[in-house]
Each structure stands twice: as C-alpha cells, then as structure tokens.
Amino acid sequence: MTMPCPQCRLEMPEIGGRSDERFRCVGCRRDYRRLALCPECGLSLQVLKACGAIDYFCPQGHGLISKKRVLFRYQPVGPDGETPEQ
C-alpha cells in the first residue's frame, strides 16, 4: 500500500507491515504514522482488527465508524517511532 506524502505529495510505501501503519517518504526522508480520526469529533479512533477485517470505533460515543467516513491524517515520527519534539 502507498499513500501520498502530506508534505511533498510523492508516493510513500508502507514500512513495518500492515499492523504498524507507518509510511516512509523517500523525497522528504521522513517517516509518518497514519492516524484514524472520527469525522464527528476529530479524536483518535480505536482500530479493531479480527479475522482480516478492520473496523473503527469512537470511544467518545459516536460508535462504529465506516471506513469510508474515517479521516486519515499522517503524523511525522522519528526513527524510533516516537513523535519528534517541535
């Protein structure tokens, strides 16, 4: 799976396997983590994985969220997987 880089728009390949949801941009030389956000409240969704299916749940009371409605954002991360200090 590839995604466009939020900074330079080049295609970013996924790294670390499907469960990690991390991508690397060869143009910017940055790693990104994909975040799933609720379209209602904008907060992080819980990702539920079972039997090959992926579902999204909002713990803020909005319940199950269809993948079509999920807002995906990409957060820069350091090589160790942590968000770099600003």
Nearest to 55 by CA among 69, 34, 41, 40: 69
Residues 6+ apart with CB under 8 A from 80: none
Q: What is the pLDDT of residue 83?
A: 63
pLDDT, tens digit, for every residue of 14-69? 887 656 688 999 999 999 999 999 999 999 999 998 888 889 999 999 999 999 99
pLDDT, tens digit, for every residue of 33-47? 999 999 999 999 999
Tell which CATH classification among 1.10.3720.10, 2.10.290.10, 2.40.170.20, 3.30.930.10 matches the domain 2-77. 2.10.290.10
Question: Using 50, 70 and 90 to split pLDDT, how confident is the model at 86?
Answer: very low
Residues 6+ apart with CB under 8 A from 44: 35, 36, 37, 38
